[in-house]
Chains A and B, each alone.
Chain A
Amino acid sequence: MKQIYRTAIVVLALVFAPLSFADNYKVDVKGAHAFIQFKIKHLGYSWLTGRFNTFDGQFSYDEKNPSASKVTIDIDTASIDSNHAERDKHLRGKDFLNVSKFPKATFVSTSFKNLDGGKAELKGELTLHGVTKMITIDVDHVGHGKDPWGGYRRGLAGTTTLKLKDFGIDYNLGPASTEVELSFGIEGIRQ
């Protein structure tokens, strides 16, 4: 019997080991040290940029075991802001995000891999406009360390490109505007 307990404890310890050593970070949305931006070509002649103002998220990061890192982000789709009320209203409507039907967009990571030169590759499932798809985000480790107010912070930046059609958004913006570039700059405060 003792043997079974001992084995169980060892197995549990192994299973939860990566979790117990990873540092958990809460995205600093309160202090607005996090940004989720998008950019899309207008007619193929210029870049239009905008952002989502309301979102929340957390991530875990363990320097000894980076591949156990996890990231989850929830975005309030109605908070889209392209600096033009009429356009934002159109973007929230049925032609694009349909926010009354799909008020949230979520990203849940499935894998994390550190690469050379402070880069990393983050994969996960993005749910947008009711469609869930695996996406790959190119990540930059921007920096980490103590902040001046007694806390510890870590920042990540990421970019990815989405085909609007993949997420069921097929309003015709022209041949040059079928893809949108998403970029994230998130700073987490260690809990």
Chain B
Amino acid sequence: MIRLKNMPINNRPTHWGWLAVLMHWSTALCVFGLFTLGLWMTGLDYYSPWYKQGPWIHKSIGVLLLLLTLLRLFMRLSLKAPLPLESHKSGERMAAKATHMLLYALILIIIMSGYLISTADGRSIEVFSWFSVPATITITGIQGEAQEELAGSLHWYSACILMGLVGLHILGALKHHIVDKDTTLLRMLRPYANKVIRKSQLK
């Protein structure tokens, strides 16, 4: 494991490293952006200038989010995450852990199903103008139903579930910040503070 002195790029038992924080908020931005863009672009008029541009950006960012998520998962599994705050009850810890695992799983399911829509006819996915992801994975449809239809339903319903879970995730963070007045949310916001302490905790 890489440990650089005075540069908290890595996670410490007391706080997240700035890399983890950066990746967390990039993911948040991508998830909200992709959901909004996806919802908006599928209702566009054929003559809208975004009719082709919207899906192109949606797919490109989706592939980039896949890479980011795989990297995050790898880091989460191979590097130690900060310890839960002592004030966290064991029920809260379990609920948080389950939510986090589901968030990761749903992001992967949504991106894979999106990939299966666009590659159902063997076409590859262009990621901006940088590179293309070939259509190498296929699934067999149920009783003649087309791959893009099955994958499309999965893509939409898992995206809705993800947004629900994101809501729960946000509510949990706000509950820690406002009700419990602990540093759960702050340590995902201030990576450089060696030790985040709230005024309320000093009293």
Contact = CB atoms under 8 A, between A and B. Distances in A.
Interface stretch (B15-23, B93-101, B144-152, B182-190): B144-152
B117 interface: yes
Interface string A161-191: 0000000000111100000000000000000
B45 A85 contact: no
A85 B47 contact: no
B45 A172 contact: yes
A3 interface: no
Interface residues of A, number: 14
Given A172-B45, A174-B46, A85 B118 contact: yes
A171 B148 CA distance: 21
B149 A92 contact: yes
A85 B146 contact: yes
A84 B45 contact: no
B175 interface: no
A83 interface: yes
B146 to A, nearest CB: 7
A41 B148 CA distance: 24
Contacts of B146: 78, 85, 88-89
Interface string A88-115: 1100100000000000000000000000
A172 B148 contact: no
Contact of A85 (B46, B55, B120, B144): B120
A89 B148 contact: yes
Q: Which bucket holds chain B's interface residue count?
A: 10 to 19
B123 interface: yes
Contact of A174 (B47, B120, B123): B47
Contact of B46 (A83, A92, A171): A171
A24 to B, nearest CB: 27
Contacts of A89: 117, 146, 148-149, 152
Given A83-B121, A85-B118, A85-B123, A172 B47 contact: yes
Give the most central of B45, B117, B123, B148: most A CB within 10 Å: B148
A85 B145 contact: no
A122 B83 CA distance: 78
21 contacts: A78-B146, A79-B144, A83-B121, A84-B121, A84-B123, A85-B118, A85-B123, A85-B147, A85-B148, A86-B117, A86-B148, A88-B146, A89-B117, A89-B149, A92-B149, A171-B46, A172-B45, A172-B46, A172-B47, A173-B46, A174-B47
